[in-house]
Structure 1
């Protein structure tokens, strides 16, 4: 059924239906009343008739009538109602039948039997027939004849019936004819009512439509709001009120168009640039100034979680507040935090105030204003950057619409400020740990070389001497293996602290790697160097640390030294000399300080000379041997690449690892030739083994200044029929970062030939980020110390997580180095690092076939290798 869609149609239909329904309802009610009256009258007649019959029977029975008289009486009663709507029956009760015998009578129904049993009259008024049942109860005088009955016993029943159907039909016809003229009168009355109501509605609607048509511009909404809206009926007054409210809301939204435009402009500024990260507080200050232009504000504040129940509250003031305002604002915010369930268990907070414009003083604040006019957004758990809340304290009389926009801005700022703070924190951590060792917080190897070069330049210019000390913690591997890496880390931290404490304030200490430390002692001769090393030895020897099992471990050191310029002028030679002295101390029984003599200088440099001759021989005889270490997918164990490592075979058959000759070869200017030989032999072996994966090759910094490096690598790849896109050159920032322009040209040329690039030891130096920014990098090999540190150090995990996220955003694949056990491998998988390499996966091997034999489960393969052959030399580059 199609619904009626107009008020006019609804009123007309309702009027007609209502009038007809009223007539028929009236007819039905009156007819019902008439029927009830007829039934009541018929029941009274039946009762009267039954009483009269009983009285007649009683009078006759008193005369002592005979059976024949009784039957004649009953027949007479029946004949008297033959031509009427009445019926009458007289029934003899069982007690009388037992005394005087049965008479001819109808079979008793249930109603007759119940009347005989309880002696109660019954009125049955259902259907077209009414019925009155009157029991005949014995009295005292009845016992003259009915000797078997007592007074009150039922002797018989008179049943009177009447069919009232003719009376009801006659009455219904009369009522129908009586109501027929009323129907048109009711319909006409309803139509007149409809016309009246419609005219009143039409006038009200026409007036409202006129007011609506008068709105042609935004300012007219105010007139519509003030207009009198009368729909002619009290029931429509709520509609008029809602129309006014709607008009007011629409007008408010239209007036606040500049707020929406402001919000758009503000959102356009939510772009995180390097300048924003560099000084995020200044960024928030500028945002506050922009907000104040539209929504006058005293202050913004943000809350950061920096530790367990420790929070930072950063307050950004529009203008310079007084000390009283600062204190009042702090107290109010703290009270507000105390009411929040998240801070209910207690907390410590440090507060820092920032001022956007110090040229003006801020208005003095009142506590009531702060509490009423502060909008804040607190979260149940710290979000990105540790942010748990943000808020704004505005001036009075700000309307609800403007607060709505402010709340929207706060929701966005919560994420933006949190992101900026997080990036700021990660960036500072990366900057710090680019120069520091995460475990000991000492300078790392990269910074050590920079400091050593700088000190050599300074001392050479001023004619000073300085000492260089190489320190090795004795038996550290045994400590690690016996008590675990966790205790080993604690042990190294304690050793580092003792060494640092025994040195002078301006001495420089770095962790060179593993259990090895290096120290630069400015303006110190050999005697001063010996004195410092003796203090270091005494401090560490006195160290005693309790292990988790209750045992105690003491410290012991092997120390070597060199003095600039007495033992060498070149920094690399100086370090090699000190390093040789340290190894001599270990060879003499450990726990010693090796003080160089003139004879030591001769012997050490004779050894270096021998290595130089060895390197020359390796170049002439092409005696560089490639070793291969697999780089695998840590989730499947599938080998995706091989790193090529350099070895030189000595006359006695032993192998010299790269770390023993690279520095000397670079000093001799021969490293690039060793690299060419290594590359050629590795590509030939890969082609012979039909290896189809990637090859990672270490590139000497010397290659930057060689005009023919790219041509030579292209030639070697072509001769071996090896696709350049399968060759990945690893670069480090050492020495190359000093000439970024040269490096950029070199790398672009290399990429133009199809070769791929990887940054080695990424994170060990902050300059690595310049590489990522400026160069087309394919792989980042994450600094191995960070990878190892993930097992026990939250900072290392955070740094690795940041590097992985950065690489993923830039489309660069990551490689984890130093995967030494199952726990490290699990952390690599957990951090979603793409590739992994290390002793746990497979040690370097001269056979490509063996290097590829890793399969799915590196841990099983590693155990199989351990049974098959003894461990080879460490993989050093």
Structure 2
């Protein structure tokens, strides 16, 4: 046998042995194709080799060899290959193709005329499994007339296309396995395992970025009844409907999973307590109009109970975060349907939880009721004398010096303790002032989120009866720290409170966009101007103009106007000239544990 033929057979043999599917080929498929093309070109000096396969969004073709860098020549090569494929399989004319090109030799060029190049092509299309593959070559018109060479080339292309098919089948099978390993078979949502992986990844990311995330834990009320009475097929139908409905209320980037049975969990990246509240309420609201049609023609209302927890405010460990949200959900379920709860101080103090120093101070303050009221007078600028008192929150400390609200209020809001702390403050205040009530009003700070708690009005009514306090003396200061996206519920509750004689004040007017939303939707009786505008109004014309504008707005709305941060007689006189009704500040009276009788 001539030496040249022996070398050719050895090279061909090595190429043939390389066309056997191995894990290395699966993991490095693009690299394998390039290396195989390079070795094949040493045996058969082709102009180009193309390999194509079907993907979910169309057909992909990789071209190796003498690939023009850009322009008309590359477009002509693309069209030549596509025409070859379409001539072999006419249905491909309506399909979407994407091409990629890799040059094997920088100095190699394609022939200028089509007559100097011939193409060979093989296509295989299978139905089960549904895969498609194509391989082909652009060859010189001379040099391949020898039949043994053509037979060897045909054999190599047949083996290559079989390898392409095997790779596609394995990739599709792996993708199928991965999907079902991470998805709930009933709803198509992520399953418990996948959710825990996502949560672990997102908490690590949030820790690096110093951001927050929230977990919602949802439990379907009365699913057991539907399963028992109508059968599990109907229960499954309900779960699929709920999965779709809940998904529709989440934002882009949020992750919903079925955690098991009648439980769903949602991961809300880059979300704090108030954002999580908004999403949870949107879900609960969407379920109010949702009913489930049973086989016997009945329509059943369906609801969920929701618990939520926030990283890192409630917990930094992913497992602890899920546990806290789960506990909050069960507490919501015990209180009734459509409930929404956050971790309680008892949850946060539970065994195995290690709170930070500041959080520990708050937890102890709630547990030992170490929250005390301080009173700052609000003075009538026109008539003189004290018109009202704002009730301010302080924490008792071991040193004897009370801790002012600015030291803890943000943390209390983030972890959802502020509502409980406000309840203690209310009771301590009424207990302190009872039974001899004066004619003054009491201004209490309250967040919109706290107002929307289901038991807020009920708790107030209990306090009124217990301490014989008239609600006409009460003014609720709506703070701007928290903004409620859906004001419908807040408006309904405000009307109920107003019907009992309670008045409303808008705190820190001018500090944010929420001011104007609350003015439009709530029955505001007093507007309290953000103190920063007041403090510098005698030096800054813009601040003075803002205060004057706020007075005009209050007059138009029939509301009283209160200026905060009044620190001098000069400021008080200027405010009086502008028509401000009431003033509050250290010059008029510092917060104190007792009121002036």
Pick 1 or 2: higher relative contact order, CA cutoff 8 A, min separation 6.
Answer: 2
Which structure has more helix as a fraction of its residues? 1
Which of structures 1 and 2 has the bigger CA Rg?
1
